[in-house]
Amino acid sequence: MSSSSSSSQPTLHDLQSETKLKQVLADQQKDYDCLRCRLMGSIAFTGLGIYSYASGMKQLRERELEILKSGSRFGLGARRGGIVGMSAVLVGLGVYRLVN
């Protein structure tokens, strides 16, 4: 290596410096996770949660008699709870993605 190329590269001591590492990681995080990316991810998760709730409840209303006649051990309450739980998790992920 020539002396000009080695002088432009950081030394091992420079790379091991904690403040330098923190600054590099902060710069990478800023470039990696921009506001538009967080907004898009948040909207996607939240929209999926809302859609899952709406379509799941609609299907339950349409098939309510079938479910009651089937005698399944998973009645309407358990199925509603599953839909609400899954939708809440997806909306929660959307909020988490927006904040973090």
Residue 16 burial class via C-beta count within 10 angstroms: exposed 0-12, middle 13-18, buried 19 and up: exposed
Whole-angstrom Cα distance, residue 46 to residue 90?
A: 6
Residue type, 32: Y
- Ranges of each domain in the chain: 1-32, 34-100
pLDDT tens per residue across span 46-75? 999 999 999 999 999 999 999 888 888 888
Question: Can you state the angle between helices 76-99 and 35-62, rounded to 10 degrees?
Answer: 170
Which residues fall within 8 angstroms of residue 83, CB to CB, at 6 or more apart?
52, 53, 56, 57, 60
**Would you say residue 2 has pLDDT above 50?**
no
Q: Whole-model pTM above 0.95?
A: no
Q: What is the pLDDT of residue 7?
A: 60
Whole-angstrom Cα distance, residue 65 to residue 15?
A: 68
> Percentage of residues in the chain with pLDDT exceeding 70?
90
Q: What is the DSSP string of 37-77?
A: HHHHHHHHHHHHHHHHHHHHHHHHHHTHHHHHHHT-SS-HH
